[in-house]
Structure 1
Amino acid sequence: MPHIRPARPEDRDDLYHICLKTADSGQDGTHLYQDPELIGHVYAGPYLAYQPQFAFVLEDDLGVSGYVIGALDTRAFDETLEREWWPALRRRYPDPAVPASERSRDEAVIYQMHHPRPADPDITAAYPSHLHIDLLPRAQGGGHGRRLLFTLFEALRQAGSPGVHLGVGGRNINAQAFYRHVGFQDLKPLPDGGALMGWTL
């Protein structure tokens, strides 16, 4: 039976690997990126670095097969990244001088590093925390995603958060169905057909 444990610094490579392996709307995104670490720099690394108390992994006989990571206060987390996380990455990856319609997947992620989307105050007022969850195919369908979510929910609740939100893309139909089945509420539609969803803790 796969077990859940707190993430450790040495899990970093596993988190980056899983992030890439689920980067194509839940499917393997390896073929989409020339730099395999790019997507992890945005969606995994900073959580392990700055909010490790809200990072948990699912581990089976083959190793880490999934994770859930979160930030207690989204706005404060964004400010921390602006001060401490993005500067080194921006030096390493220059801002692409390419129109949005012509950007490669790598360039789109790099642009996001230089111009991170601000938190939506309408969302963070009631749902100040946010999360990301990813599982490899071998870990899906056994209730492990729900177990990971509720592990994080309890940690956020104990830290005083009243609510947590997440964003899911329009192409990721399976994830949308999963979140709604678990009990997330739709908060706001996204331009690509996805949604911001929330959970009251």
Structure 2
Amino acid sequence: MRPEPRIRPYRPTDRAGVAAVCVLTALDGGDSRERYPDEELMPSLFAAPYCHLEPELAFVLDDGSGRAVGYVVGTADTRRFVKDFRETWIPRVARRYPEPVTEPRDPGEEMIRLLHTPERMILPELDAYPAHLHIDLLPDYQRRGFGRKLMETFLAALADRGVPAVHLGMVTANTAARAFYDRLGFHEIPVPDPGPLTYLGRSTAAAG
């Protein structure tokens, strides 16, 4: 009998699995490899720094065999995270991804520019939602309730730390993700000139 998928805390041995999930979901919820051929790039922005800087808030969906097929990662304090990202994370990856000195010429270089500007995460409109998160699941594990369980696990961990609210930024074009967040009680946070993103937030308190 095949073991049931389960949610558990992140382990250092999950690094490659989490990175693979990130790569396969990083382009509006789909495979990003054609646009970003360097398979370390997207995880270096959106998954690995959280696992390194705040592993206690990283959780994976284990397929039952030890393989990560989904995850939720984040921070309890965005302003502190940005400081740690600048001081600790960027030096770890700067040799592979040096800071650009010219305007980006392709999507990969645009992402490297984002990597070197973590202060973009600090917006005054989000101060009432100090935590933020990223959540991704492989397609075969979507629409089965695992995303909700991952989110509930993360929200409970934040609540245990006394964090009142959380936000996330999502690509506005990803309508399936927006429907998922709406079902979980997230609401839109107005932000001037948000670009391609929509910002959503909610309390960490359990719904109902």
TM over 0.5: yes
Moved segments of 4+, more than 4 Å? none
1:21 aligns with 2:24: yes
Amino acid corresponding to residue 4 of structure 1 in structure 2: I
Which position in structure 2 is the counterpart of 1:86? 90
List runs of 5+ in structure 2 lacking aligned partners. Answer: none
Q: Does 1:7 align with 2:4?
A: no
- Measured after TM superposition, the shift of residue 114 of structure 1 is 1.8
Give the stretch that moved more between structures: 110-119 or 135-144. 110-119
Letter in 1 for 2:100: P
Shift of 1:12: 0.7
Is the CA contact 2:6–2:63 (under 8 Å) kept in the aligned structure 1?
yes
- By percentage of residues, which structure has more helix? 1
Aligned to 2:34, the other structure's residue is in SS state helix
| Aligned amino acid, residue 137 of structure 1 | P
Distance 2:15 2:156 in 1: 23
CA distance, structure 1, for counterparts of residue 150 and residue 97 of structure 2? 33
Aligned mate of 2:80, from 76, 81, 94: 76
1:106 equivalenced with 2:108 (yes/no): yes
Correspondence for 2:156 among 111, 133, 154: 154
Q: 1:121 aligns with which of 110, 116, 124?
A: 124
Distance of aligned partners of 1:144 and 1:118 in 2 relative to their CA distance in 1, 3 Å threshold? closer
- Distance in 2, Cα, partners of 1:173 & 1:118: 22
Q: Which amino acid aligns with 1:99?
A: E
Deviation at 1:134, TM superposition (A): 0.1
Q: How far apart are residue 72 of structure 1 and its match?
A: 0.5
**What SS does the corresponding residue of 1:67 show, helix, strand or coil?**
strand
Measured in 2, the distance between the counterparts of 1:118 and 1:67 equals 20
Q: Distance in 1 between matches of 2:117 and 2:86?
A: 10
Q: Does structure 2 retain, via aligned residues, the 8 Å contact 1:168–1:195?
A: yes
Deviation at 1:127, TM superposition (A): 0.6
Q: CA deviation at 1:118?
A: 3.7
Instruction: Determine the structure 1 residue equivalent to 2:142.
Output: 140
**Unaligned runs of at least 5 residues, structure 1:** none
Q: Deviations over 1:67-108 (max 9, x none)?
A: 0011010000110111111023223322334435xx312111
> RMSD between aligned alpha carbons?
1.4
1:46 aligned onto 2:49: yes
Of 27, 30, 33 in structure 1, the residue corresponding to residue 36 of structure 2 is: 33
The DSSP-based 3-state class of the residue aligned with 1:161 is coil
Percent identical residues: 41
- Count of equivalent residues: 197
Residue 184 of structure 1: how far off its partner (Å): 0.3
Tell me the residue number matched to 1:67: 71
The corresponding residue for 1:166 is 168
* Among candidates 190, 195, 203, match of residue 191 of structure 1: 195
For 2:45 and 2:74, how far apart are their aligned partners in 1? 13
Deviations 1:23-52, CA, capped at 9 Å, x for gaps: 110011111112110000111111111111
Q: Structure 2 length normalisation: TM-score?
A: 0.90
Tell whether the 8 Å contact from 2:78 to 2:121 is kept in structure 1 after alignment.
no
User: Could you tell me how far apart the structure 2 residues matched to 1:80 and 1:96 are?
Assistant: 20
Larger mean Cα displacement after TM superposition, 109-118 or 27-36 = 109-118
